[in-house]
Structure 1
């Protein structure tokens, strides 16, 4: 292929003969030139970018890395929150368990204190019963040769931490039941004691107890003839303290031609006691007297041959043998 053109300066006609090989060579040269130009332009742009801001060249890489780091940080933060939430819940449960244990221990301590107090009250009640049931001459005697025995039961082992809640529950229930039993027993004993101390059961004189004349038929000391003695004569010098054989209300405190200065005490349930021949009366009609309260002093007033205490027990308006109801003289 030929290409013709006219030169403008001299008007000369020129021609170029183009072959396929020549065209291919020119096309390759043009392509290489374009590629080189692109490389040069990219190189220049990169150099300019490095001088302006280094971060512009690494922005795609840093963005990828930042996304991964932020994802990991978020995951760690979530795990940290979950850990602290679980830890807080565990602490809360531990605190609740500890508080429950403390509450149980406080309840057990209260029950133990109640038990201790009830035991003390029972000891007092036991002393009252002992004082009532023991003759005055034996009050200062001590118990000797106390016998001991019983089956061998080893002391239980100290419970472990895991068993402690169950043991505390069982102990608390046992203490509660024991306290209830003690309370009910104490109430019954208190009623028994209250009933008992109102009955004529104790000897009205404490010193050198000696019955000079028993209940029943005897020789009258003044007429020397057979007569019926309705009480007991306790030998007592003038001024010997006379005590109420039981609690009650003074029905009479005054003079009688035969009994002299006398005190009659109504103990309820049909029981009345008489204290006669006193030298001095220390109560008056209508007074409430306690168990073993000082009420008079012995003498020889009324129909008598000498100082002593004439003591009677009257049940439903009929004199009975005092030795059947007085502790220490019962037979």
Structure 2
């Protein structure tokens, strides 16, 4: 088909050929324009719906607005911050527990045994096992965070219970005669048991430990308690006795000076006397005894047994 176009009496004739191919191309181009225009309108309308009615947008396309996404991220950030704070608190409590353990070992372990514990990173081994924060994985981040926070809370409770338990045991240990009655500068010259009496040369029972040091060296209480005797004795010379819990009593003899009175409360490590050479003594030393319910105990075994308990803890 051809169309002829004449714009005026003197104008030239224009001929336009219309073929089936050109008609089809025109129809396709028109359809494409209409579809593109419809898509554009749909997109603009959907974006408006997102801002104006998020619930409608979700029902139509399952999308979330930027504001809602920010709210979700804010919730996660808050929970992560809470988790971080919980973790920091737990770490601090574990450090406090470590300090308490060191105090426990210091009280429970005699000087000669305490030196056996090394602080160096020496031979250690075993397979590496990751800490279990959650028994089963979850795809829900919200659930993961809640579970982690709950487990950290349980860990905190366990650490606090352990701290309270150790604190109670430390207080109990402070009240038992497990300490050394002198400082660092001393020698043990005579142990507990049968020996030759230094005056008669005959076999006799020595019911304590003899610590040799300079006259005037401070003598300290080996446990918290109450002074029940502070007097002169023909055999012990100046002597101090302290009563402790569970029927324990400690005796400090041959003192040059007594620094406490009967009825006085003392704590572990308090200076109660000065070393001397009074009574039935051949030279300056401290004679130290431990008794329970009037039965004489070996002070060395008392220290070793307590150290074994502390190591097991």
Tell me whether 1:151 sits opposite 2:142 in the alignment: no
Q: Would you say the 8 A contact 1:134–1:328 is kept in 2?
A: no
| Partner residue, 1:174 | 151
Q: TM-score, normalised by structure 1?
A: 0.65
Query: Which structure 2 residues correspond to residues 79-94 of structure 1 after superposition, within 5 A?
Result: 83-86=50-53, 90=65, 93-94=68-69
CA displacement, residues 200-240 of structure 1 (integer Å, 9 cap, x when unaligned): 11221233443322223333323334433222212222122
Question: Counterpart of 1:200 in 2: which secondary structure?
Answer: coil
Shift of 1:105: 2.4
CA change 1:310–1:90 in 2 (3 A) is same
Residues of 1 paired with 2:104 and 2:256: CA distance? 32
Quote the offset at 1:155 in angstroms. Answer: 9.4
Deviation string, structure 1 residues 55-86 (Cα, Å, up to 9, x no partner): xxxxxxxxxxxxxxxxxxxxxxx999855332
- What do the CA deviations read for 1:87-130 (whole angstroms, capped 9, x no partner)? 59946644543443243223313321321221121111121122
Q: Which residue of 2 aligns with 1:230?
A: 207
Aligned length: 250
Pair 1:131-2:101 in alignment: no
In the alignment, the residues of structure 1 paired with residue 263 and residue 88 of structure 2 have an alpha-carbon distance, to the nearest angstrom, of: 42
Verify the 8 A CA contact 2:108 2:307 in the aligned structure 1: no
**TM-score scaled by length of structure 2:** 0.68
C-alpha separation in 1, matches of 2:46 and 2:151: 48
Distance 1:154 1:298 in 2: 56
CA distance in 2, matches of 1:100, 1:287: 60
Contact 1:313–1:321 (8 Å) recurs in 2: yes
Task: Confirm or deny that 1:114 pairs with 2:89.
Answer: yes
Could you tell me which runs of 5 or more consecutive residues in structure 1 were left unpaired when the two chains were aligned.
1-77, 157-161
Report if aligned partners of 2:178, 2:306 keep a CA contact under 8 Å in 1: no
In structure 1, the residue matched to 2:286 is 309
Q: Distance between the aligned counterparts of 2:299 and 2:180, measured in 1?
A: 9
Counterpart pick for 1:288 among 258, 265, 270:
265
Name the CA shift for 1:144/1:153 in 2 (closer, same or farther; >3 Å). closer
Instruction: Check 1:100–1:83 CA distance in 2 against 1; reply closer, same or farther (3 A cut).
Output: closer
Partner of 1:35: none
- Report if aligned partners of 2:110, 2:303 keep a CA contact under 8 Å in 1: no
Q: In the alignment, which residue of structure 2 is the partner of 1:240?
A: 217
- Tell me the secondary structure at the aligned position of residue 100 of structure 2: helix
Structural RMSD (CA): 3.3
Distance 2:307 2:89 in 1: 39
